[in-house]
Amino acid sequence: MQSLGAVQCVTIVGTQTLVRCEMSTNTPYWNKVEGVEGCPDA
């Protein structure tokens, strides 16, 4: 399990997306980082 606030690049339906681990009602989930297209180079 990732720590809250962790950011990761994932591929969803062939498109790379930057997501952040967040918490909602005591359940962690991955939320798309708004304002960022694709994944920045590491």
User: How much is the pLDDT for 40?
Assistant: 77
**What is the separation of C-alpha 29 from the centre of its chain, rounded to a whole number of angstroms?**
9
Q: Which residues contact 13 (CB under 8 A, 6 or more apart)?
A: none
Strand, helix or coil for residue 35: coil
pLDDT digits (tens, 9 = 90+) for 1-42: 568 888 899 998 998 989 999 999 989 999 999 888 888 764
